[in-house]
Amino acid sequence: MAKTSKPVRTRLAPEVRRELILDHAAALIREQGVSALNMDKLGREAGISKPLVYNYFPNRVELLKTLLLREVERNRQNNLRLAGVNKSMDALVRATSRAMLEYVRERGIIIQQLMLEPDVAEVLRDIDAQHHKMYVDYLSKRLVKEFGIPRQIAVPAIDIGLGLSSAAGAYFDQHPEDIDFVEDLLVTMIMGSLQAVSKGCSSGKLKRRSARKVAPA
């Protein structure tokens, strides 16, 4: 009788194993939510022992913090890349909208889910605020240049407009039937609002009534 050979376990580099654990954690959250994730279940899903999971992450909260930081940084780097290759605001809005929706299709609204966990979200408190400010500053400068919108109006316009993207992502997560439609709708709403803001500024109907200062471009 022929001997049955045992499967050979592949020894992975620590950084590769760490990323795979985070990938399995993201998949579990996508399917079952944050509350369903524990180290036992994660080990089973990843095909490794619970002690090995603890070798990489001392506890569940630290694992979720690491996952949140990774996902936010991946999105930030992708947005920076898209900003560098799309020369018009219209092209940039379309590119970032599509990238966001494709991310939601793959990961769900995992970032928003993790941000609802107070012990997890605290890791982003300072970092996210800094990155958000830098991104708003960058986009508002483009509004000043391309639409002629005064900076003191461009900054809140961008800040509010970014909320549309979050809302579209949440909608698409619940209605994933037509990514092209949601993309077109989001781009139309964002660009339409920017054009309306520009028109309002030009006509004098839209202006700041408070003395709140905005950093110069």
CATH number, domain at 29? 1.10.10.60
User: Are residues 19 and 109 located together in one domain of the fold?
Assistant: no
- pLDDT 10s digits, 148-170: 999 999 999 999 999 999 999 99
User: Are residues 51 and 126 located together in one domain of the fold?
Assistant: no
User: Are residues 83 and 148 located together in one domain of the fold?
Assistant: yes
Name the pTM for this structure.
Answer: 0.83
Query: Would you say residue 109 lies in a domain?
Result: yes
User: Are residues 98 and 170 located together in one domain of the fold?
Assistant: yes
Query: Would you say residue 178 lies in a domain?
Result: yes
User: Are residues 46 and 87 located together in one domain of the fold?
Assistant: no
**What angle (nearest 5°) sits at the alpha carbon of residue 217, between those of residues 167 and 77?**
45
Query: Would you list the DSSP string of 9-54?
Result: PPPPPHHHHHHHHHHHHHHHHHHH-GGG--HHHHHHHHTS-HHHHH
| Residue 189 neighbours by CB distance under 10 Å | 17
- pLDDT 10s digits, 70-114: 999 999 999 999 999 998 999 999 999 999 999 999 999 999 999
- 3-state class of 209 per DSSP? coil
Paired tokens of 22: 């985070």
At residue 3, does pLDDT exceed 80? no
User: Are residues 18 and 103 located together in one domain of the fold?
Assistant: no
Contact by Cβ (8 Å): 18, 41:
no
Query: Would you say residue 36 lies in a domain?
Result: yes
- pLDDT 10s digits, 171-185: 999 999 999 999 999
User: Are residues 52 and 145 located together in one domain of the fold?
Assistant: no
User: Are residues 50 and 30 located together in one domain of the fold?
Assistant: yes
Q: Which residue has the tokens 């992502």?
A: 169
User: Are residues 120 and 54 located together in one domain of the fold?
Assistant: no
The pLDDT confidence band at residue 1, using thresholds 50, 70 and 90, is very low
User: Are residues 46 and 143 located together in one domain of the fold?
Assistant: no
Domain that holds residue 28: 13-58
Query: Would you say residue 4 lies in a domain?
Result: no
User: Are residues 53 and 85 located together in one domain of the fold?
Assistant: no
Query: Would you say residue 216 lies in a domain?
Result: no
Query: Would you say residue 97 lies in a domain?
Result: yes
- The number of folded domains in the chain is 2
Contact by Cβ (8 Å): 144, 201:
no
User: Are residues 84 and 45 located together in one domain of the fold?
Assistant: no
Query: Would you say residue 215 lies in a domain?
Result: no
Q: How far apart are CA 151 and CA 24, in angstroms?
A: 43
Residue 164 sits in a domain whose CATH number is 1.10.357
